[in-house]
Chain A
C-alpha cells in the first residue's frame, strides 16, 4: 500500500510539544495529519476535511473534548468518524467517564511511543491503515502531504479566521 493511500488523521491538542509528538509519530508510521489547537478549530477542520480519524485531547480551550465529541456525534455527516481521546486525565474512573461521553477509544498520557500508532490504527478500516508495521527511520522531515482540495479549504479557513 502506498503512503498516499493511507488515512488523514486530525490531531486536536493544545499543548504544542504533545501535538508535535503525536504528529511526528503518525507521520513516521506513514499517516497524513491535520492539526488543531482547540476544540472549535478541531470541529471546523473535521467538518471541512472529513479526516479518517480524530485524535483529541480532553482538556482543551474554547470547546473541550466532551463538547467536541458531543457535536461530532450529533452531526449526521460526522458521526461515523472515530474519535479517540488522548488525555492526561488518567485517574480511576476517567476512562469510563470518557468512553461513556461518546469517545470511541481512550489512550492515557503519557503515551507509549512504540505502540501509540498501532493503538490508533485499530480504529481505522483496514484499507486506510498505512500498512507500515515499522516506522520509517530518519524521514520525519518529509512534509505533510495533503490533497489539493484539502489544502485549498484549509487556506480558505485560515483566511476566514483572519478577518
Chain B
C-alpha cells in the first residue's frame, strides 16, 4: 500500500516512512490516547514511498504486556480510503459550494488535504479540457506541466497550504497550466483554505491569463520598438518598468533602475525644484537661475548631461509613463541652423550696406558730370558752338545712360534680395497713366510721333504705385525708343475681370528669335536707328520681376516691322 518493501521498512519508525511531517504531532497525540483506551480509529493522511499522499483509515491499538501492563507496541491497521475520502469530500463541497463556484469566471479546482481534486466547476473543465469525471480524485498534478510536479511548487500540498493565504500566487513567478491536449498556458492562481468538517481543503481559483500575457507582450514590444526611452513609475515615483532604450540612453542597467526614484535620471538642480513631484520635474523644469535657460536635461550614469524632451502620460493603473527623447542631435541641428541664420542675416545686412554705399558712390561723381554738362549746355559760362553743344549732349546722354544702368542694377539687386518694400494701395489707374504720359509724351512728340492716351477715370486697382509706375515707364520708354514713325497708344481697359494697361506702338517690332528671351537680363533688340547699345538691357527684365512682385503679368504681341503691343494685366484683388 505504501510502496515500501519489507526490507526497506523494517527497522524504521513509521514517522520516518509514511507520516507526513505535519501529521507527526497528530499521530503522537492519538497514540497517547490509545495507550489509555482501547482502539483508536481515525482518518489521516499518509505518504507513499513515491511521495504522494493518501487518505487512510487508521485503527491503532496499544498492546501491553499482560503481566506488567507495560506498553509493548502499537498495532496500527491502515486502509487506503483515498477514493472514499474524495467522494465524501466531493459530496460535501459540491453540496455547499456548487452554486457559488459555478458563478465565478475563474476556473475553480478544489483539492483536499491529500492534494486530490474533489471538485471542479465547468469553467475549469473548459479551460483544462478535462471532463469532470476524468479528473475527480486525481492529484492536482495532472493540471500542471511536468516540471512543476513535486518540485516544491503548488503541486506539493505542503506548498499549497503554505501559500493558501488568499493572495495570488503568480506575482513575480510565472506559472503555467497544462491542458488535456498537452498545451501549456500561463495562469494566475489564488489559493484559499476552506475549513470543513472533513478537514482543510484548498480552493484554487485559476485564471487563464494567455490574453493578458499576450497583451503584456504586445505592450512590451511596443515599448521596445519605440525610439524613445520609456519609463513607467508607480504612485511613489519609483521606476517599475523601463525599455532597453532607457538603458542605452542613460547607461544604467535595468536592475539598477528598477525601484529607484525617477529623479535619478535628471541632474540634481532639477530635483530640488520639484521634490517628490516627478511630473513637475519634467513638465515644468525650474532650474536655478544659473542654469542654461529652461532646458530640461537628462543625467547619465557616468554623470554626463544631455538635453531631453519628455512627455508624460498617466496610465490607468495609477502609474505614469514617461517618454524621454534624447534631443542632442536636434539641439545641435537647431544650434547650427541658428548660427547659419545669424551668418546669413549678417551677410544680407552686409550686402544691403554694400548696395546702399554702391548706389551712393556711383551717383556722386555722376552728379558733377551731369550737373556741369548741364550748366555748360545752359550756356552759363558762355555761349557754345554747335559742335561743342553736340558733343556735350553726347556726354550728358551717356552719363544718363550710365545712371539708368546703375538704377536698374540696384533695383534688380534689391528685388533679388527681397528688399523691395511694397505698399499696396487703392489707386485710380488714370492717375498713374496720366502722370507717365505727361512725363514721356513730350519725348514722343519731339520724335515726331503721335501720342494717344485713352484712360477712363475710376478704374481703381490695389497696387504698389511705384512698381506699377516704373513698369509703365519702362514700357512707354521702349515704345518711344523703338518707334520712328506712327503712333504710340496708351490704353486702360477691363478685360476678363482684370485691368489691362497697354502700350501699343507702330515701331520696328521684335523678331521671333528675340521674343523668346525678351525678358532676360541684358537681352537687347536692335533699336530703331540700328543701334544696339541703347538702354541698359535690364528694363524689361526688371519690369517682369516687378510685375511678379505686385501680382501682375506682362503680355506682349509683336511683329517685326509692324509694331509691338505690351500689356500689364492687373488681377482684380479684393480690397
Q: Which residues of A contact B (CB under 8 A)?
A: 15, 17-18, 20-21, 24-25, 28, 59, 87-93, 109-114, 135-138, 140
Given contacts A25-B375, A111-B367, list 5 more A-B pairs with CB under 8 A: A18-B368, A18-B371, A111-B371, A135-B378, A138-B381
- CB pair A28–B375 under 8 Å, yes or no, is yes
- Residues in A neighbouring B380, C-beta threshold 8 A: 24-25, 28, 135-138, 140
Q: Does B315 contact A (CB under 8 A)?
A: no
Which of A18, A89, A135 interacts with B359 by CB under 8 Å?
A: A89
A112-B374 in contact given A92-B414, A138-B382 (Cβ < 8 Å): yes
- Residues in B neighbouring A136, C-beta threshold 8 A: 380
A110-B359 in contact given A15-B364, A21-B375, A24-B380 (Cβ < 8 Å): no
- CB pair B466–A92 under 8 Å, yes or no, is yes
A90-B421 in contact given A110-B367, A114-B378, A137-B380 (Cβ < 8 Å): no
- CB pair A92–B360 under 8 Å, yes or no, is no
**Which of A24, A59, A92, A110 has most B Cβ within 10 Å?**
A110
Closest-by-CB residue of B relative to A135 is B380
Q: Does B453 contact A (CB under 8 A)?
A: no
- Residues in A neighbouring B3, C-beta threshold 8 A: none
- CB pair B368–A88 under 8 Å, yes or no, is no
- Residues in A neighbouring B365, C-beta threshold 8 A: 17
Smallest beta-carbon distance B549→chain A, Å: 12
- Residues in B neighbouring A113, C-beta threshold 8 A: 370-372, 374-375, 378
Smallest beta-carbon distance B284→chain A, Å: 45
- CB pair A89–B364 under 8 Å, yes or no, is no
Q: Does B448 contact A (CB under 8 A)?
A: no
Smallest beta-carbon distance A132→chain B, Å: 12
- CB pair A21–B381 under 8 Å, yes or no, is no
Q: Does B179 contact A (CB under 8 A)?
A: no
- Residues in A neighbouring B366, C-beta threshold 8 A: 109-110
Distance in angstroms between the alpha carbons of A142 and B100 in the assembled complex: 132
Distance in angstroms between the alpha carbons of A91 and B419 in the assembled complex: 11
**Which of A87, A91, A137 has most B Cβ within 10 Å?**
A91
Distance in angstroms between the alpha carbons of A90 and B356 in the assembled complex: 9
**Which of A87, A113, A138 has most B Cβ within 10 Å?**
A113
Which of B363, B410, B414, B420 interacts with A110 by CB under 8 Å?
A: B363
Distance in angstroms between the alpha carbons of A109 and B362 in the assembled complex: 10
- CB pair B378–A21 under 8 Å, yes or no, is no
Q: Which residues of B contact A (CB under 8 A)?
A: 355-356, 359-361, 363-372, 374-375, 378-383, 399, 403, 410-411, 414, 420-421, 466
A21-B414 in contact given A110-B363, A135-B380, A137-B382 (Cβ < 8 Å): no
Distance in angstroms between the alpha carbons of A21 and B360 in the assembled complex: 18
Smallest beta-carbon distance B420→chain A, Å: 7
- Residues in A neighbouring B361, C-beta threshold 8 A: 88
- CB pair A90–B363 under 8 Å, yes or no, is yes
> Can you report 29 residue pairs joining A to B where beta carbons are below 8 Å apart?
A15-B364, A17-B372, A21-B371, A21-B375, A25-B380, A28-B375, A28-B380, A88-B359, A88-B361, A88-B364, A90-B359, A91-B359, A92-B414, A92-B466, A109-B363, A109-B367, A110-B367, A110-B369, A110-B403, A111-B370, A111-B371, A114-B374, A114-B378, A135-B380, A137-B380, A137-B382, A138-B381, A138-B382, A140-B380
Smallest beta-carbon distance B80→chain A, Å: 113
Distance in angstroms between the alpha carbons of A87 and B363 in the assembled complex: 9
Closest-by-CB residue of B relative to A59 is B360
- CB pair B381–A110 under 8 Å, yes or no, is no
Which of A15, A21, A91 interacts with B372 by CB under 8 Å?
A: A21
Closest-by-CB residue of A relative to B373 is A113
- Residues in B neighbouring A138, C-beta threshold 8 A: 379-383
Distance in angstroms between the alpha carbons of A93 and B466 in the assembled complex: 11
- CB pair A18–B367 under 8 Å, yes or no, is yes
Which of B369, B375, B383 interacts with A24 by CB under 8 Å?
A: B375
Distance in angstroms between the alpha carbons of A136 and B382 in the assembled complex: 10
- Ranked 5 nearest A-B pairs via Cβ: A113-B374, A88-B363, A17-B368, A109-B367, A110-B367
- Residues in B neighbouring A135, C-beta threshold 8 A: 378, 380
- CB pair B360–A110 under 8 Å, yes or no, is no
Distance in angstroms between the alpha carbons of A112 and B364 in the assembled complex: 13
Distance in angstroms between the alpha carbons of A15 and B399 in the assembled complex: 19
Distance in angstroms between the alpha carbons of A136 and B379 in the assembled complex: 9
Which of A17, A88, A111 interacts with B360 by CB under 8 Å?
A: A88
Closest-by-CB residue of A relative to B363 is A88
Distance in angstroms between the alpha carbons of A61 and B374 in the assembled complex: 28
Which of A88, A89, A91, A93 interacts with B367 by CB under 8 Å?
A: A88
- CB pair B414–A91 under 8 Å, yes or no, is yes
- CB pair B356–A110 under 8 Å, yes or no, is no
- CB pair B382–A21 under 8 Å, yes or no, is no
- Residues in A neighbouring B378, C-beta threshold 8 A: 113-114, 135
Distance in angstroms between the alpha carbons of A28 and B371 in the assembled complex: 13
Distance in angstroms between the alpha carbons of A17 and B371 in the assembled complex: 10
Distance in angstroms between the alpha carbons of A90 and B421 in the assembled complex: 14
Which of B356, B369, B414, B466 interacts with A89 by CB under 8 Å?
A: B356
Distance in angstroms between the alpha carbons of A89 and B374 in the assembled complex: 21
**Which of B374, B382, B383, B420 has most A Cβ within 10 Å?**
B374
Which of B368, B411, B421, B466 interacts with A21 by CB under 8 Å?
A: B368
- CB pair B364–A140 under 8 Å, yes or no, is no
- Residues in B neighbouring A137, C-beta threshold 8 A: 379-380, 382-383
- Residues in A neighbouring B466, C-beta threshold 8 A: 92
- Residues in A neighbouring B359, C-beta threshold 8 A: 88-91
Distance in angstroms between the alpha carbons of A21 and B381 in the assembled complex: 12
